[in-house]
Structure 1
């Protein structure tokens, strides 16, 4: 269990004070801020209530739902769920808390999520896990700034910002474009590494529709056409079929569109 203590403040000789004693590692009740997800928003940071496990967005997001949870519940402290960070905030005493003796809180387990709970039109969700795409012995893309697109019946697709993609390995595909009723016109890319050519292995939305402009300058990859795709070190299972490019990880539950006889789902 993680023990939390007020952060030292050199400007106060007596240090900051917190009236609470925290030894807690609650299980998150959700994988994201649910009010933001319902509105199709991507929260910039998530906070985990140390009392009940509620997950809400921080004050840097428009909803500030973690603060709203404190206002309604009175639960005084929450910790960040951002990868690589370890701090908490006491709303009641307005102090930062750090893990005692440098102990790192456990990575938040990801509760199961059903693709049938995903919305339509799709929602965009920032994901700070390490996402990696490998092909022909090369790392084609690697990021902690992916965006997941969540749509009813589909496993998530991961979009990776251009600055984290080796775009010199992408060549415009000859076979044209497709149209998504939500996101707009998709452009396809071959992944070319020496003599190894993976046709239409990636796609992007150069000029997405207004609700999806966050995907501008992002690329998505078909895991079935790459040698390996991972999320936080976990190998991805590709979505069935040759059209959709969903990434299936342990927490994502189906059944999934893409298998035979699912075209009308």
Structure 2
């Protein structure tokens, strides 16, 4: 349960300063998601969820996503903060990744602004960008946080971090 918090530098945020319960933020950052040569999402109005110990999760309006490449699956999960999640398989041409994105069809009231917005696991996409910066995926297969140069950890999700 011991970890060394990284002190943020100028212009950086520590995930250990993020709140619990999580907070939702409207942004004007340019977010793009690419899979199998197709830009699936391109927006300048993402929503960002900040939660203690996690890199941010970016949620994108379906209006800014090429939804023809997303196919609902039977998978579901429960978030104590946002509610019941549904999942999408992403399929472009012959390339497919099951349960590569998630959404909340009926989020709890505080997260109502992300109703039906889609979040993607960056580890399963070819590339995800925030303001032109290539995102590093959060370790592990459970969380889908986006790490950029302005975010410092350590981050929950990798080996040995579940007890934090």
- Which TM-score applies when normalising by structure 2? 0.92
1:149-196 per-residue CA deviation (whole Å, 9 max, x = no partner) reads 00000000000011001111101124x200000000010100011211
Q: Does 1:154 align with 2:71?
A: no
Among candidates 17, 22, 25, match of residue 117 of structure 1: 17
Larger radius of gyration: 1
Q: Does 1:225 align with 2:133?
A: no
Q: CA deviation at 1:127?
A: 1.3
Q: Which residue of 1 aligns with 2:3?
A: none
5+ residue gaps in structure 1? 1-109
Pairs within 5 Å for 1:67-86: none
Counterpart Cα distance in 2 of 1:183 and 1:237: 24
Pairs within 5 Å for 1:1-265: 111-174=11-74, 176-265=75-164
Counterpart Cα distance in 2 of 1:209 and 1:133: 26
Q: CA deviation at 1:264?
A: 2.2
SS of residue matched to 2:60: strand
Q: CA RMSD in A?
A: 0.9
SS of residue matched to 1:163: helix
Query: How many residues are paired up?
Result: 155
Hey, which bits of structure 1, 4+ residues long, moved more than 6 A?
Answer: none
Q: Which has the higher strand share?
A: 2
5+ residue gaps in structure 2? 1-9
1:111-149 per-residue CA deviation (whole Å, 9 max, x = no partner) reads 110000000110011111110000000000010010110
Kindly indicate whether structure 1 or structure 2 has the higher relative contact order, using CA contacts under 8 Å at least 6 residues apart.
2
Counterpart Cα distance in 2 of 1:217 and 1:243: 20
- Which TM-score applies when normalising by structure 1? 0.58
Counterpart Cα distance in 2 of 1:264 and 1:214: 31
